[in-house]
């Protein structure tokens, strides 16, 4: 029976994790993220296409990836002098909205 109990626990954990991720994604607002992203435009451009040579493009990046990186900058787990200052004041909602905004921007890649 322990294997059955472990299987149920694992299934419940997967279900709860999926529900939490779905709720987080539904709560994020690309429109609110766009408004908040004005503070990012100097380096990352108004549509997430970097204007500074040492800044990455954010447009079209994965929402999960962007949120994780912003949380890492905010906590100090990821270090960058400017981003540490920018991310410090972001709430979880701000991060979710910014990630939703940049992820919603469509980027087209063309073969050279």
Write down the mean pLDDT value for the chain. 86
CATH code at position 33: 1.10.760.10
Domain assignment present for 44 = yes
Domain assignment present for 20 = no
Task: Report the domain count for the chain.
Answer: 1
Considering only residues 24 and 71, tell me which one the structure prediction assigns the higher pLDDT. Answer: 71
- Residue 35's domain comprises 29-104
- pLDDT at residue 20, rounded to an integer: 47
SS3 per-residue string spanning the chain? CHHHHHHHHHHHHHHHHHHHHHHHHHHCCHHHHHHHHHHCHHHHCCCCCCCCCCCCCCCCCCHHHHHHHHHHHHHCCCCCHHHHHHHHCCCHHHHHHHHHHHHHCCCCCCCC
Domain assignment present for 72 = yes
- pLDDT at residue 16, rounded to an integer: 53
pLDDT at 108 over 50: yes
Distances from the Cα of 89 to the Cαs of 5, 9, 66, 75, in angstroms?
Answer: 43, 37, 16, 11
Domain assignment present for 112 = no
Q: How many helices (H) and strands (E) does the chain have?
A: 6, 0
What is the model's pTM? 0.76
pLDDT at 23 over 50: no
State the pLDDT confidence band at 22, using cuts at 50, 70 and 90: very low
Domain assignment present for 38 = yes
pLDDT digits (tens, 9 = 90+) for 75-100: 999 999 999 999 999 999 999 999 99
- pLDDT at residue 1, rounded to an integer: 44
């Amino acid at each position: 029976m322990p294997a059955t109990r472990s299987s149920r626990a694992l299934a419940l954990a997967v279900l709860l994790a999926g529900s939490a991720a779905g709720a987080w994604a539904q709560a994020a607002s690309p429109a609110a993220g766009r408004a908040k992203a004005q503070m990012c435009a100097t380096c990352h451009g108004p549509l997430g296409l970097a204007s500074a040579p040492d800044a990455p493009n954010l447009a079209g990046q994965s929402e999960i990836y962007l949120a994780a990186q912003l949380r890492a900058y905010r906590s100090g787990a990821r270090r960058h002098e400017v981003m540490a200052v920018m991310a410090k004041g972001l709430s979880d909602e701000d991060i979710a909205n910014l990630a939703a905004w940049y992820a919603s921007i469509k980027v087209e890649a063309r073969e050279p």
